A and B are shown apart, each in its own frame.
Chain A
Amino acid sequence: MGDIFSNLGLGFGVVFQFVQWTPAFLGGASIPIPVNILLCLIGALVGTLVGVLPGIGTIATVAMLLPITFGLPPVGALIMLAGIYYGAQYGGSTTSILVNIPGEAGSVVTALDGFQMAKRGRAGPALAIAAIGSFFAGCVATVLIALLGAPLTKIALAFGPAEYFSLMVLGLIFAVVLAKGSVLKAIAMIVMGLLLSMVGSDIETGASRMAFNIPELADGLGFATLAMGLFGFAEIIRNLDAGGETDRKLVQEKVSGLMPTRQDLKETTPAILRGTVLGSILGILPGGGAVIASFAAYTLEKKVAKDPSRFGHGEIRGVAAPESANNAAAQTSFIPLLTLGIPPNAVMALMVGAMTIHGIVPGPQVMQKQPELVWGMIASMWVGNLMLLIINLPLVGIWVRLLRVPYRLMFPSIVVFCCIGIYSVNNAPTDVMIAGAFGLIGYWLIKHDFEPAPLLLGMVLGPLMEENLRRALLISRGDWSVFLTRPLSAVLMAIAAALLILAVLPSLRKKRDEVFVESEN
């Protein structure tokens, strides 16, 4: 217990750190400024700002905003990125409540009841409940990360290469099973991501692989480049198809009366609690994340409700539960990343990319060698949630105005912003072209119902998987049974196999599709 408090203490110490700023114009006088809090605030604000723009999901937002953290020291950059991440999440729910265009998959469910509430002039309470639920879930998740962080790190240190490989296989299988759509196609996307990650030089022999003597490919495909292509450019192109303006019906009523009534609070408290628990669990699971959490929470709420028919017609619990769940999951999905070094979903994969750019390799070693970084980030999550609660409600008016910006002006801006961002990673024009190519590939994938998110996950896990596979086989002298003879590895593999079989079984698949479909109707 003592450990946890000292760790959290360390974290809050980092977050509330003051840096003496001595500008020349003050003639030697220095002003203490809380840099990390400011970065957290800016991150949350900018994240919300971009997340609010319809048609831009969380992954695209984080990818687009990656470059603005490059110039910062690692701790500050991570704190800001985390801020951007939950800012984007919150922004997504704002759009779905006000315009019925979910910015991201996670808030599709929020749009169901949230938009109905908005149409009846109850947008204020819907937004407020979303914020309150998110904040509560965020508090619980922060404590959970602090509790689980240290013990999981200890387990991770006992892992050998075989266990790591099996764990990654399990994670990828989980990602496939918990995702929407065809299992087969999702696996294919992961393998394609793994293949793409092989481009560049081989870690052990240094041989150039599939790089075709193009110097820019010698170091491999840039992660940020790929993400911005697949999620930024591809989304833009697809939205242009949809015709942008036609289906944007903004709630015209003024957003007034923010506070939910006492009755609302009474109704939503259990929903928020259930959502938080469900979201926390689904977030920790490898492959889990915000999307599945919000769908599952909505389905659960509908199941326990006395009168399920009210859902879809402006039921406030249909906003509270998924919003709490997706925020809880968004945060607990940091647990596998920070303790095991394995990103459980595409957004976390982006975080790995960001950390690598700053020279940090996430995993148990970071937890031990740079505790201020990890705990600072964890503490900043709580602070960030608090800020979102405080700043967002008064700023709803501004977000509404942002929503009125027509798409015809927004999309060229995003194109330019992404271009500059990609270029600034390496100062390489080739990167911009590669991103453009992946934009077209992403558009094609969307048209054929392939999800690009598993591809990103495979891309990040590729080098790790290959390295551990090689090591495991080297240690076992080429014996493939090592994955089944080492007990821990065998258990992980068995779970993965069982999951895969279950997912393909018709009865469970029907159930899984039900979770997604039912909440959409």
Chain B
Amino acid sequence: MNASPGHAPVKSIMPKWVRNPQEFVGGIALMAIAVFALWASSDLQGMRGFSFGAGTAPRMFGFLLLGLGALITVVGVVTEGPHLAKYHWRGPFFVTIAILTFAFTIRSMGMIFAAMAAFLIAACGSPETRWTETLIVAVCLTAFCALLFPYALGLPLQLLPTFMIR
């Protein structure tokens, strides 16, 4: 297990009175989400007489989440609990890049390119990747998907890059 570089400082940031950092940070994050949702729905109409406006329900659940987040934060202070879990950057980073690459190339470059690229980038996410076998599997999987989705399942997917079709 290689400790991620950002790990050590995270531990020391937490003051001593936070005895359950996992809950504490989780609760604060939930409160942040709730505040964000409340802000995002602040332009919506509220109650009109006794009928709900568009913003009533989001605000209701927003405040509920705010309250729950606060409670979890309190739990994080008063109970004993595990330290923050370790985060590793490599897996999440490459998988995210792979997903983004797919999203940005699928329209213009077609499925074959997008799938290959996403596969190879995602493969960087594991230190155990061996490139020859990865390449072979990438080609096979792309071929399989190219047959499965458009032909066997009849989904409208563009296989080749746009410039090659025209």
Minimum Cβ distance to chain B for residue A420 (Å): 6
Which secondary structure dominates chain A's binding surface? Answer: helix
Interface residues as binary, B126-152 with A (CB distance below 8 Å gives 1, 0 otherwise):
101110011001100110010011000
Q: How large is the interface on B (under 10, 10 to 19, 20 to 34, 35 or more residues)?
A: 35 or more
A413 close to B102 (CB less than 8 A)? no
A209 close to B54 (CB less than 8 A)? yes
Question: What residues of chain B lie closer than 8 Å to A415, measured between beta carbons?
Answer: 95, 98-99, 118-119, 122
B72 close to A412 (CB less than 8 A)? no
B125 close to A240 (CB less than 8 A)? yes
Given contacts A195-B62, A236-B95, A241-B88, contact A70 B57 (CB under 8 A): no
Tell which of A166-174, A426-434, A488-496 binds the partner. Answer: A426-434
B77 within 8 A of A: no
B85 close to A408 (CB less than 8 A)? no
- Who on chain A is nearest to B58 by CB? A198
A433 close to B100 (CB less than 8 A)? yes
- Who on chain A is nearest to B71 by CB? A184
Interface residues in B1-26 (C-beta closer than 8 Å to A):
1, 22-23, 25-26
B128 close to A413 (CB less than 8 A)? no
A396 within 8 A of B: no
Q: Which of B86, B96, B120, B128 contacts A436 (CB 8 A)?
A: B96
Q: Which of B25, B65, B100, B119 contacts A412 (CB 8 A)?
A: B119
Tell which of A10-18, A186-194, A364-372, A385-393 binds the partner. Answer: A186-194
A to B CB contacts below 8 Å, 28 in the list? A71-B155, A191-B68, A207-B54, A207-B55, A209-B55, A233-B99, A236-B91, A244-B128, A408-B123, A408-B128, A411-B95, A411-B126, A415-B118, A416-B141, A416-B142, A419-B99, A420-B111, A420-B145, A420-B157, A424-B155, A427-B156, A439-B96, A443-B92, A447-B22, A448-B25, A448-B26, A466-B57, A478-B50
Question: What residues of chain A lie closer than 8 Å to B156, measured between beta carbons?
Answer: 427
A509 within 8 A of B: no
Question: What residues of chain A lie closer than 8 Å to B23, measured between beta carbons?
Answer: 185, 448
Given contacts A195-B58, A417-B145, A439-B99, contact A212 B40 (CB under 8 A): yes
- In whole angstroms, how far apart are the Cα atoms of A105 and B156 in the complex? 35
A473 close to B52 (CB less than 8 A)? yes
Give me 4 other A-B pairs in contact (C-beta within 8 A), A191-B65, A408-B128, A420-B145 excluded.
A198-B57, A210-B40, A241-B86, A416-B115
Minimum Cβ distance to chain B for residue A189 (Å): 9
A253 within 8 A of B: no
Question: What residues of chain A lie closer than 8 Å to B134, measured between beta carbons?
Answer: 408-409, 412
- Residue numbers of B with Cβ under 8 A of A are 1, 22-23, 25-26, 29-30, 33-34, 37, 40-41, 44-45, 49-55, 57-58, 61-62, 64-65, 68-69, 71-72, 75, 84-88, 90-92, 95-96, 98-100, 102-104, 106-107, 111, 114-115, 118-120, 122-123, 125-126, 128-130, 133-134, 137-138, 141-142, 145, 148-149, 153-157
Minimum Cβ distance to chain B for residue A412 (Å): 4
Which secondary structure dominates chain B's binding surface? Answer: helix
- In whole angstroms, how far apart are the Cα atoms of A436 and B30 in the complex? 20
Minimum Cβ distance to chain A for residue B9 (Å): 17
Minimum Cβ distance to chain B for residue A381 (Å): 23
A311 within 8 A of B: no
B106 close to A432 (CB less than 8 A)? yes
- In whole angstroms, how far apart are the Cα atoms of A187 and B142 in the complex? 41
Interface residues as binary, A438-479 with B (CB distance below 8 Å gives 1, 0 otherwise):
011001100111100000000000000010011001100111
The total number of A-B Cβ pairs within 8 Å is 207
Q: How large is the interface on A (under 10, 10 to 19, 20 to 34, 35 or more residues)?
A: 35 or more
Q: Which of B26, B87, B153 contacts A449 (CB 8 A)?
A: B26
- Who on chain A is nearest to B33 by CB? A192
Residue of A413, A447, A474 with highest tally of chain B CB at under 10 A: A413
B92 close to A440 (CB less than 8 A)? yes
B68 close to A184 (CB less than 8 A)? yes
Question: What residues of chain A lie closer than 8 Å to B95, measured between beta carbons?
Answer: 233, 236-237, 240, 411, 415, 436, 439
Given contacts A71-B155, A240-B88, A413-B119, contact A424 B149 (CB under 8 A): yes
Question: What residues of chain B lie closer than 8 Å to A236, measured between beta carbons?
Answer: 91, 95
B68 close to A416 (CB less than 8 A)? no
Question: What residues of chain B lie closer than 8 Å to A408, measured between beta carbons?
Answer: 123, 126, 128-130, 134
A429 close to B106 (CB less than 8 A)? yes
Minimum Cβ distance to chain B for residue A223 (Å): 18
Question: What residues of chain A lie closer than 8 Å to B92, measured between beta carbons?
Answer: 237, 240, 440, 443
Question: What residues of chain B lie closer than 8 Å to A375, measured between beta carbons?
Answer: none
Question: What residues of chain A lie closer than 8 Å to B111, measured between beta carbons?
Answer: 420
- Who on chain A is nearest to B142 by CB? A416
Question: What residues of chain B lie closer than 8 Å to A202, measured between beta carbons?
Answer: 44, 54
Residue of A407, A408, A444, A449 with highest tally of chain B CB at under 10 A: A408
- In whole angstroms, how far apart are the Cα atoms of A477 and B48 in the complex? 12
- Who on chain A is nearest to B115 by CB? A416
- In whole angstroms, how far apart are the Cα atoms of A241 and B85 in the complex? 11
